[in-house]
Structure 1
Amino acid sequence: MTHPFEIPPSWTWTNLGEIAEVVGGVTKDSKRQNDPSYVEVPYLRVANVQRGYLDLSNVATIRVPEQKAESLRLQYGDVLLNEGGDRDKLGRGWVWEDQIPGCIHQNHVFRARIIDGVLAPKLLALFANSFGQKWFQQNGLQSVNLASISLTTIKNFPVPLPPLAEQHRIGAALDNLLSRLDIGSSELAAIIQRMDRFRDQIMYLAGVGRLSSGVSRSLAQLPEPAGVVDGELPDIPGTWQWKRLGEIADVIGGVTKDAKRQSNPDFVEVPYLRVANVQRARLDLAEVTRIRVPPKKAEQLRLVPGDVLLNEGGDRDKLGRGWVWEGQIAGCIHQNHVFRARIRDEVLHPKLLAWHANGFGRRWFEVNGLQSVNLASISLGKMRQFPVPVPPRDEQEALVQTAETYLSMLDGMEKAVATARQKAVHLRASLLADAFAGRLVPQDANDEPASESLARVRAEREVALPKQKSRPRRTKKDLPAPPTRVTGDDYQQEALPL
């Protein structure tokens, strides 16, 4: 067996199936969910088993035979590891701490119950979520849409086993260091949320003329947005005017992809933007797909700098979100779920329109959008009715400069926070690398070597295995005589072929 990395002499390599009872879960039998002999119990699915924690905010129930419910009932200290889903979900998991009485697990979640406490459950889960990720991805099987790993394969997952006494020291050190790291990461995430609120605030205030031209050194001194209820427009300066979007801009929808005509030699291939590319106050151009369309359509929909892109459909919170096109990709067009607003006669700065759509517009689009079963949408006619505040032209440039000053302050802070978060990720990886290579805490020569603990587990399992009686090998002469068949009136016997 090739070992993934070097470990101290007092440690030993083993595999998951040797130190834990690993079992799969229950498959839901939809036809028998009304069976009165079944019992209803909570059960964990792949979505509940996250990397490093359990998400128990939405735990479903299932009806199963009582014996099945008992055999799969989770116990404190069980390690849950995902069997299937997207490839990056393979092997992710965490430790069960008896949060829900009588809970079981589905067939796409494996349960590893460590034998005789030979390895701390949290250490196994941490190892699976860090170094184990690469192993699970290499050993998983990929179907068209999903990846999976078999029970036999996961039992061969290599695991480093430290001495029991050293496990306690490693666990205590990791609890201390990782909890402090988690607190710092939570504080950074809270800062990001506050900056997102400031960004929304700036866009709202810029769009309705309440952003002071005297830039403060503190974002916290920004005025709060006025409350907007259904059908109510925010106050704007007396020199401003309310206009409908259709009055100041040409608004059109984009192209629908016709899969049957993508091989048409008369069509031209061009890049095109989808809903995923049009984010709130930014464009994500990391992955821009291409489409084949008639040359006339490509010319008609070709984006030009200053076009404002606004989403027509998707989740409800995506309606109307968008940003300004600045000519980043030559010949680019947009799909039918993205509207393009091209402002006429420079009556309004494109960024002011985009900030207004992302600020006040968020609530307006939610109120005026239509909801189907899975998706929300807003019609072209309704989009043209979107109310837009238009300031005098001589005020617009100063407004844009003021908003961009505030937003650049946020950009700088976000980069600093992103750098800090990345350092936290590297620090966590470094701590775990040291822990599982035996470098986090000192070794003690008085500790019982891990090989002895493992030997006891092997001996106990050998005793627990049922003794199988060996069967004598059968030869051809031991086989029973061929059966016979009665035929005809004379009762003649005929041998049947084997």
Structure 2
Amino acid sequence: MNWPVVPLGEVAETALGKMLDKGKSRGNEHVPYLRNINVQWGRIDTHDLLTMELAEDERERFGVRSGDLLVCEGGDVGRCAIWQGRSAYLAYQKALHRIRPSAVLDARFLRYLLEHQAKSGALAKLSTGSTIAHLPQQKLRRIPVPLPPLAEQHRIVEILEDHLSRLDAGQKELTAAPRRIEAMKSAILRELIPDPVAYPEHWTELTVGDAGTIELGRQRHPDWHAGPNMRPYLRVANVFEDRIDIADVMEMHWPADTFDRFKLSPGEVLLNEGQSPEFLGRPAMYRGVPTDVAFTNSLIRFKASNEVDPEFALLVFRRHMRAGRFKRESRITTNLAHLSARRLKEIEFPLPPLDEQRQIVATARDRLDAADRLKSGVVTALAQELRLRKAVLAAAFSGTLTKSPNELRHTEELVPA
């Protein structure tokens, strides 16, 4: 389309918000204000407003009114939403730009244009800062704005919002899906390994200490950060539920004979000794990778007895973690919970016959793997939704977006995967 393109500063008034004054109070009234975190894509959250001191003669300069477009200056550069107004006064801080479009520019058209430019990478090219990106006022004013007639802007926004509302509805469902899948996995584990009161009569109720041996890993010490016998070890950052992450395996010096004591063997289960309460005792089985590796005292090792299938033990521990059983036995300091080896030994451990343990493991693996495949599909669908959103925005500002419901099937070709 042959739309004229003009710098934003020519068709809108822009301003940065109030810089917070951390000095001594000047005795002025405190007023609520918007921060970067309050402005999300397409919405402004006022549930957590802070206040700042503001002089009477600064109110007009740093106030917002209905129809203003608030734009994040740093972080997620360009993230923006239109303020719909309220009766009480509201200011905004320096982390935000306030844009007041002129009569030739629809604020909604500009809001979607900025989202398009942010998601396409155009705003990143205008930003400064090596760690946290920032969009200075002078560069904001230089943003190129395609300027179709106002009626055409209204038509584009109407079509765009119709398409995006469909995508938003799908995204809402997809975003909720991972939580539902995790709840389903917990239900699978509860069904296969019930509460103690519901154990089948032929099961034996043991404790974890009866079912195997428990041992804390080797304590770390600054003197062992270097030495002649550097060997790898696993720590809490490596152990996730049913998965050991080997991307960041560290090493330390092991004096003679100490490494063999803490060296892991395939089939041993590691549990996090210290973690946020929700994930305390998060377990994973060591399956031989990486080779020749030990563990530290942020982890607890469980070696199953001959009557216990290690894979079944892993299921029991996953079930306990998800049910909050480890949390009930923990000692909590600040936001970190700790599970002592002594307390772990006393936790109940169900013991079906060995053949039944293996049957439960096979059933659980089939059902949990299916849940993981479903979750992976959700991740793929969310990525697809993001690509479609980018494509729809690109089509809108190239003048090719139509009202057709089939538009979403074709616009993804406009952006790379």
TM-score, scaled to structure 1: 0.71
Structure 1: gaps of 5 or more residues:
1-7, 209-225, 227-232, 443-498
**Residue 81 (1) aligns with residue 81 (2):** no
Structure 1 residue aligned with 2:90, among 103, 106, 110? 103
Offset, 1:170 = 0.9
Offset, 1:174 = 1.0
Structure 2 residue aligned with 1:60, among 47, 50, 68? 50
Q: Which residue of 1 aligns with 2:347?
A: 386
Contact persistence 1:204–1:358 (CA under 8 A): no
Deviations 1:220-239 (A, max 9, x none): xxxxxx6xxxxxx5531222
Distance 1:12 1:80 in 2: 24
| Mean CA deviation greater in 386-395 or 289-298 | 289-298
**Residue 367 (1) aligns with residue 357 (2):** no
Offset, 1:321 = 2.2
Contact persistence 1:51–1:92 (CA under 8 A): yes
Distance 2:87 2:314 in 1: 47
Shift in CA distance, 284/265, structure 1 to aligned 2, threshold 3 Å: closer
Offset, 1:128 = 2.6
Structure 2 residue aligned with 1:26, among 18, 22, 25? 18
Shift in CA distance, 321/151, structure 1 to aligned 2, threshold 3 Å: same
Contact persistence 1:81–1:93 (CA under 8 A): yes
Structure 1 residue aligned with 2:186, among 200, 208, 224? 200
Alignment of 1:144-223 (within 5 A): 146-208=132-194
Q: Which residue of 2 aligns with 1:238?
A: 201
Distance 2:223 2:80 in 1: 43
Offset, 1:99 = 6.0
Deviations 1:374-404 (A, max 9, x none): 4333333333333222222231011111212
Deviations 1:205-260 (A, max 9, x none): 2233xxxxxxxxxxxxxxxxx6xxxxxx5531222233332333333344666567
Q: Which residue of 1 aligns with 2:410?
A: none
Alignment of 1:405-424 (within 5 A): 405-424=366-385
Shift in CA distance, 381/26, structure 1 to aligned 2, threshold 3 Å: farther
Distance 1:307 1:118 in 2: 69
**Residue 91 (1) aligns with residue 94 (2):** no
Offset, 1:171 = 0.4
**Residue 401 (1) aligns with residue 362 (2):** yes
Distance 1:273 1:82 in 2: 39
Alignment of 1:268-283 (within 5 A): 268=230, 270=232, 272-275=234-237, 277-280=238-241, 282-283=242-243
Q: Which has the larger radius of gyration?
A: 1
Q: Which residue of 1 aligns with 2:104?
A: 118
**Matched length:** 400
Distance 1:59 1:349 in 2: 54
Distance 2:114 2:244 in 1: 33
Distance 1:333 1:291 in 2: 10
Q: Which residue of 2 aligns with 1:351?
A: 311
Question: Residue 194 of structure 1 aligns to which amino acid in structure 2?
Answer: R
Deviations 1:128-165 (A, max 9, x none): 3333252343443436x644343333333333333322
SS at match of 1:94: strand
Deviations 1:275-302 (A, max 9, x none): 3x4333x326374343333265554444
Q: How high is the sequence identity, in percent, across the aligned residues?
A: 28
Distance 1:54 1:284 in 2: 40
Distance 2:139 2:43 in 1: 24
Contact persistence 1:22–1:112 (CA under 8 A): yes
SS at match of 2:84: coil
SS at match of 2:324: helix
Structure 2 residue aligned with 1:433, among 394, 400, 407? 394
Shift in CA distance, 314/47, structure 1 to aligned 2, threshold 3 Å: farther
Q: Which residue of 2 aligns with 1:247?
A: 210
**Residue 291 (1) aligns with residue 251 (2):** yes
Distance 2:223 2:122 in 1: 41
SS at match of 2:198: coil
Distance 2:106 2:43 in 1: 16
Contact persistence 1:75–1:96 (CA under 8 A): yes
